[in-house]
Structures are given as structure tokens and as C-alpha cells.
Chain A
Amino acid sequence: MIQAEQLTKKYGGKTVVDNASFTVQEGMVTGFLGPNGAGKSTTMRMIVGLAKPTSGEVLVNGHDFKKSRHPLTEVGTLLEAKSVHKSLTPLAHLRAMAATAGIPKSRVHEVLDLTGLSSVQRKKVGGFSLGMGQRLGIATALLGDPQVLILDEPVNGLDPEGVAWVRNLARQQAADGKTVFISSHLMSEMAQTADHLIVIGRGRIMADAPITEFIDNGLDQTIVRSADIEILMNALNGEGIQLRRIDEHGLEVTGPDSETIGRRALEYGVVLSELRPLQRTLEDAYMELTRDAVEYHSNTVAETGGGK
């Protein structure tokens, strides 16, 4: 479990993380979502003690990670793809990491196999592609079989097979009761992996909720097309329903779900050539949240649930 309490980080005069309070629970995958430069990496660096909070505090499993006696078995961290000396081989890097904490050599080979790096274990890291560097970073994070897994943009540079592998890994670790905290700037990636989502924009926590809430709290939107669109508009007119003509025969309906619209059309004998519910995707919800973040100074009341 990770608990952040009013975590703030300022570099010079710039506030990178602004009074962030959140809890990352064990047994699930928590996504940490935000545009580039929103403060995701800085927050993660503060969790593992590499960056010192200007104010506030963050606890990992109830204590300060900097004082941890068993850091590698407590937290596995991937921060940058290549936080390894370029002239080292994966084998030397992992053996050195393992030696710090008395982790047996057999585990080094386990994580090399696991991440598919066994064949390049004696090649220098300097020549690695971004994806291979990322795999080595994940291997390093898994080395101590940690209780908490913190992965900063783990799928960057990975091929589709690697992306799916990371997704499975995260889900499996969570199923084992581990705390899994994954950052991304891509909502589509989080939609497939995370159970819970923390959205950050301009250093502020914009949302902190189960992923289902991000999809469900909007109103239904439907595209309807018919030759008798005028009749249908009269039929649908009513309380809480917004109609918008998009072209000669097309209409965007906000409010009722597509089934209600279909029934009303049947009642009035209108033939529909198209009835298409607009899925309010996570991507939409995310765009909305981060748009609010960008506009924060001019518009302090964040509007939610407005749809597109």
C-alpha cells in the first residue's frame, strides 16, 4: 500500500506536484494517468525516496521507504528505461543489484528468463533498444519479488507482445495481493489494465476512482439517422433531452439511451437508417479531465458529466 499525504514538490518556483493525497491499494492495479509533464514521474520518485518532497509525506507499507531495511523485496521500481551503466551487461547489472540485498543468483537468471533477456545477458546495455532497456528495467523491478510494484510508463517502446506481457504481469501481481502502481499518458492502455485510476494534471490529483466510474458517469449519446428526421425530433422532444442536427438526415441525441429512441421511433412509425450509441470512452473522460487541468486558472469549477 502507498499512502501520499499532501505531497508537494517544487523545483525553483515551479510546483511540479501540488498537494497530492492518494492511496494505492494492494490487490489491484492502480493506474496513474496524466499528460506528459503532469508530475507522474516526480511523484513516483518521491515515493521511493529519490526526490525529497518540499512538503507532505508518502509512506510505503506504512513507513518511509528511505529507511527500508529490505528495499528490493519491498518495492520493485522501474523509473527510466535505462537506469543502468551503459558499459554493463544485464547479467552484471542484475547480479550487482541482487548482491546488495543478498538475493540469490538463481533469481537473476529467473528474471532474465522471465523478461526474455537470457539470450542478450552478456551484451552491453548501451546497445539496447528502448524496448530491451524497458525489459531490463522490469527484470530489475521484479528481482526481489516485491510487495509493491511501481512502473513508470512500462510499455514505452515495447512491441505488442511485450505490451500484452506487461499487462498480464501487472494483473497477475495484483491477483497475488501485491500493490501495483503503473503510470501512463495513454488512457487506452490503462483501460485494459487498471482497476482503479488516479488522474493527475499539472501536479494536482484530478480524479481518484474505480475505472468503471470514468465510463459510467456521463450521459448517453446516440447518433440517429432517418429520412423523417423532423418527425423523430418532435417525438423525442422533452425534458432533459438535447437534440442537435448534424446534417440533413442526422441527429445527435443526448439523454435517453438508444433503446428508448428506437421504441419512440417505432411508436411514431419512423424508419431509422442508423441508430448508433456513442460510447463515452475513457479517452473522452480523460481528455475532459486534463482539459480542466489545463484551464485550471481561468475556470476553478471543474464541470463533469457533460459528455462531448
Chain B
Amino acid sequence: MSNHLATAPHGKVTLFGVLRSESIRFFSLNSTRILVLLAIVFYVGIAAVATWGIGSLSASMGDTDQMPGMEGLSAPGFAAELIGSGLVFSQLILGVLGVLLFSGEFTTGSAVSTFLASPRRLRVLAAKGILIILLTAVVQIISSLLAFAISKPIAENYQMNLEFSSDAFQRVLWYGTLAVTMAALIGLALGMLLRNSAGGITSLAALFFVLPIILSILTTLTDWAQDIAKFTPDQLGMGLATPASVVTDLETWQQLLGVAGWIVLPLVLGAILLTKRDIK
């Protein structure tokens, strides 16, 4: 029986080491693979169905340009925004992945192992943050490109204008990716704050689905609700990615600032509590 090392390790913990460690565990879990696959399938599927549905509708109605309220159908940006139809689902699914990345540590007790290997807790948070940013960005870009490739022939079939280099598609591609990454980071922060998967996922869904509904009801009654509604993460992200569908009076820089706030504030709050609270 030998307990000795054949080769002495240096044993020094680095951010890169923690990142590698997080990646190994993350990609060993089935939940990760399932959620990533779902995110891609939903996004591409919804884009294709939306393009086909709207395309066939406009074809059956003939020349829609003359109809009031339907002028947008053949507008250059319209088909591109249809590709972004599934953005809120990507936000939700990859947001859940963000929640699980942190809450899973506490629900399974693996937080003990994680923070014994890297007692500096913020380094773990940094590694998880980098991992989820890279993962969601890559997944969302892949989803967008696949959605474009599938929707393009459908759009052409219905004489809809869909160009890769168009301003509208580039917005869906890049701002859409930003919106999804924001959701995943909010999820990460919720998982870190609540330390509970069900609670984190429910809060995330409430933030992206329930809050906009409540605010839209309130908007009919009060003015201030309208001002708040503009700044929900859902409206900020959609307003950037699909400006024709989500009307807002905010400037782009104001929207970006709002997104930055939704990324930074929950993470900072979570980071403070992460360093203060005990690991159970």
C-alpha cells in the first residue's frame, strides 16, 4: 500500500485550473447536455416554424403591403426578427443552466469539495462566470446560425427578404447572444444567492415570464409601470435584438447599460454573500 505520489504535483491553484475543473464536471453531467440540446432545438425549431407560418400566411393573403398593419411583412428586417422568436426560450433554458451550475453545488453537497479545492471563493465564481459566458455565447451563436440556415430557404420560398449581412439579422445574432448570456448570468447569480435549484429556476422564470405580464397589466392602470417595464431584463434584451417587435423609447446605449446592470448587480450581491456565508 503506497500513499505517495509517483510524481510530486506543484498543487498550485490557478483560475485556469478551477476553470478546467468546472468544465470537466459541467460536461460530465447529463443535465448540461440535455439543456444545451434543448436550447438549440427550441430556438431553431421556433425560428423555422415562425418563418413558415408567417410566410404561408402572407402568401395566402396575397399582397399584404397594401393592408393596414401588415406593411412590415416584406420589410427587410422582418424575416430576420422571426429568427429571434425563440429568444425567450433560449434565455429560459440557458438561464436554468446558469442556476444549476451554482445551485447544484449546494443541493448535492459538492460545494464542500469545490471550496476545499479552491478556498478562495471568488475564484470559483469567476471560473463559473467565464464558463457560462463562453458556453451560452457559443450555444446561442450556433443556434442562430442553424436557425438562419434552415429559415433562409423557407423565407425565400415565400419571397421574404432574409439576408445574413442585414442589420436586422446581425442584431438578432449578436444582441440575441447578449440577451441569452445575460439570462444565464442572472441564473448563475440566483443559484448562488438561493442555493436551491427549484427556487432559482422559479425566480428566473418569474423574472422573464411573470414580471412582464404583471407589468403589462399595471401599465394600463399607471404610468410608472410603463417606465419600469422598459427596464425588465426581458424587454431590454428583446428591445436590442428585435427592435421592430419590441417597441421601446430607450436609446441603444441606455438598453446596453440596463443589460449591464442586470448582469453586474445580482452577481455582485451574490459574490458578497458567497464570501460571507458558510458553505454547508
A interface residues with partner B (beta carbon < 8 Å): 45, 48-52, 65-75, 77, 79-80, 82-89, 92-93, 95-97, 99-104, 106-107, 110, 114, 140, 142, 144-145, 168-169, 172-173, 176
Contact = CB atoms under 8 A, between A and B. Distances in A.
A305 B203 CA distance: 60
Contact of A93 (B25, B116, B279): B25
Interface string B17-54: 11011101100111100000000000000000000000
Nearest to B27: A92
Interface residues of B, number: 41
B12 A101 contact: yes
A127 to B, nearest CB: 14
10 contacts: A50-B279, A82-B109, A85-B108, A86-B108, A100-B117, A106-B7, A110-B5, A114-B2, A145-B5, A176-B3
Contacts of A75: 116
Given A45-B278, A144-B11, A50 B28 contact: no
B104 interface: yes
B112 A101 contact: no
Given A96-B24, A102-B14, A87 B9 contact: no
A193 to B, nearest CB: 16
B24 A83 contact: no
A69 B12 contact: yes
Nearest to A168: B1
Contacts of A50: 112, 115-116, 278-279
Contact of A49 (B9, B12, B110, B119): B119
A7 to B, nearest CB: 14
Nearest to A86: B108
Contact of A52 (B110, B118, B278): B278
Contact of B116 (A48, A82, A85, A104): A48
A14 to B, nearest CB: 14
Which one of B10, B11, B18 has the greatest number of beta carbons of chain A within 10 Å?
A: B11
A101 B17 contact: yes
B10 to A, nearest CB: 6
B102 to A, nearest CB: 12
Given A104-B7, A107-B9, A48 B119 contact: yes
B71 to A, nearest CB: 52
B1 A51 contact: no
B115 A87 contact: no
Given A79-B112, A96-B21, A168-B1, A87 B31 contact: yes
Contact of B9 (A68, A73, A169): A73
Contact of A84 (B6, B108, B115): B108
B206 interface: no
Interface of B: 1-14, 17-18, 20-22, 24-25, 28-31, 104, 108-113, 115-120, 276, 278-279
B16 to A, nearest CB: 9
Contacts of B109: 80, 82-84
Contacts of A83: 109-113
A85 B104 contact: yes
Contacts of B4: 145
B3 A169 contact: yes
Contacts of B116: 48, 50, 71-72, 75, 77, 79
> Nearest 9 A-B pairs (CB), nearest first?
A73-B11, A83-B112, A92-B28, A70-B11, A99-B20, A100-B117, A100-B21, A96-B24, A99-B21
B113 A72 contact: no
B14 A85 contact: no
A87 B117 contact: no
A144 B21 contact: no
B112 A70 contact: no
A10 to B, nearest CB: 12
A99 B131 CA distance: 15
Contacts of B25: 85, 88, 92-93, 96
Contacts of B18: 100
Contacts of A92: 24-25, 28
Contacts of A168: 1
A71 B108 contact: no
A138 B4 CA distance: 14
Contacts of A101: 9, 11-13, 17, 117
A66 B7 contact: no
A67 to B, nearest CB: 7
Contacts of B110: 83-85, 88, 93
A69 B17 CA distance: 12
Contacts of B17: 99-102
Given A80-B112, A86-B108, A99-B20, A110 B6 contact: yes
Contact of A51 (B5, B108, B118, B279): B279
Contact of B24 (A49, A95, A107, A140): A95
